[in-house]
């Protein structure tokens, strides 16, 4: 092997790569917010007394968890225009990421809700609170705390999954890297660099999750 490393194109492209990182973080954070909302709402609907609602949630979760994300993102990209919604690649990617992350979040958060002692719920009812308030004020926070490591692990996964959005040319790091690679043919240098960048972003994410945890989930338990 007689390969000489040349990081010139990477250095020239660094501002673009950093913008790509920002794009990735936008996709990741927006996707997470949507996933969290879908996760919480999905758990509530999953326990609904209305059977069709429960089934819809189960079907959604199974569908997402048993199909590849690349196919899901293509599906959203080509299905939305059929119902008259035209979106640019980046919003499309955010929706797909949110749906995908949401399905996993439903399963994870559901586990957290089930881990809450039923005495907590009964105490809420005995005090006269309605079901909705019992969920919102009594169950939700301890449930999220219980599954926080799995949930944030899933969200780091989501951050890395954003790279698949390059398939529809959403604005994020891998798309930017592909452009630089196409012009320079410096595949190893380019992908080596974004490997490091993805790693740093994951690390940053974990730190941020740690801060959130200290703020919201640091109440003492026995």
Partner 1 sequence: MSPNPATGPLIAMHGVDKWYGDFHALKGVTLEVRRGEKIVLCGPSGSGKSTLIRCINHLETIQKGRIVVDGIALDDSARAVDAVRREVGMVFQSFNLFPHMTVLENCTLAPMRVRGTKKAEAEAIARRYLERVRIGEQAGKYPAQLSGGQQQRVAIARALCMEPKVMLFDEPTSALDPEMVKEVLDTMIGLARDGMTMVCVTHEMGFARQVADRVIFMADGAILEEAAPEAFFRSPQHPRARTFLGEILAHH
Candidates 125, 185, 199, 203; binder of partner 1 (CB under 8 A) is 125
Nearest alpha-carbon partner for 72 in 100, 113, 37: 100
Nearest alpha-carbon partner for 91 in 81, 105, 77: 77
Q: Which two tokens stand for residue 199?
A: 């790693």
Candidates 129, 160, 169, 206; binder of partner 1 (CB under 8 A) is 129
Candidates 16, 25, 47, 141; binder of partner 1 (CB under 8 A) is 141
Of 88-117, binders to partner 1 (CB under 8 A) are 117
Provide the 3-class DSSP secondary structure of residue 84.
Answer: coil
Closer by beta carbon to partner 1, 3 or else 219: 219
The b/e string for 6-28 (b: 16+ C-beta within 10 A; e otherwise) is eeebbeebeeebeebbebbbbbb
- For partner 1, what does the binding mask look like between residues 142 and 171, x meaning CB under 8 A? x--x--------------------------
Residue ranges binding partner 1 (CB under 8 A): 117, 119-120, 122-123, 125-130, 133, 137-138, 141-142, 145, 219-222
């Amino acid at each position: 092997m007689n390969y000489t490393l040349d990081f010139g194109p990477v250095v020239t492209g660094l501002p673009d790569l950093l913008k790509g990182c920002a794009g990735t973080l936008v996709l990741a954070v927006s996707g997470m917010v949507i996933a969290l909302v879908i996760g919480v709402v999905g758990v509530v609907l999953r326990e609904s007394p209305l059977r069709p609602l429960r089934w819809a949630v189960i079907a959604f979760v199974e569908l997402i968890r048993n199909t590849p994300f690349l196919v899901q993102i293509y599906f959203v990209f080509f299905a939305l225009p059929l119902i008259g919604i035209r979106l640019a690649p980046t919003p499309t990617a955010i929706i797909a990421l949110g749906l995908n992350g949401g399905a996993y979040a439903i399963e994870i958060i559901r586990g957290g809700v089930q881990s809450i002692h039923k005495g907590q719920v009964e105490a809420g009812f005995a005090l006269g609170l309605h079901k909705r308030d019992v969920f919102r004020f009594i169950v939700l926070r301890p449930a999220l705390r219980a599954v926080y490591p799995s949930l944030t692990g899933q969200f780091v996964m989501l951050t890395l999954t954003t790279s698949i959005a390059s398939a529809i040319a959403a604005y994020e790091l891998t798309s930017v890297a592909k452009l630089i690679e196409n012009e320079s043919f410096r595949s190893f240098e380019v992908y080596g660099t974004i490997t490091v960048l993805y790693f740093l972003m994951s690390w940053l994410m974990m730190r941020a999750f740690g801060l959130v945890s200290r703020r919201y989930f640091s109440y003492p338990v026995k």
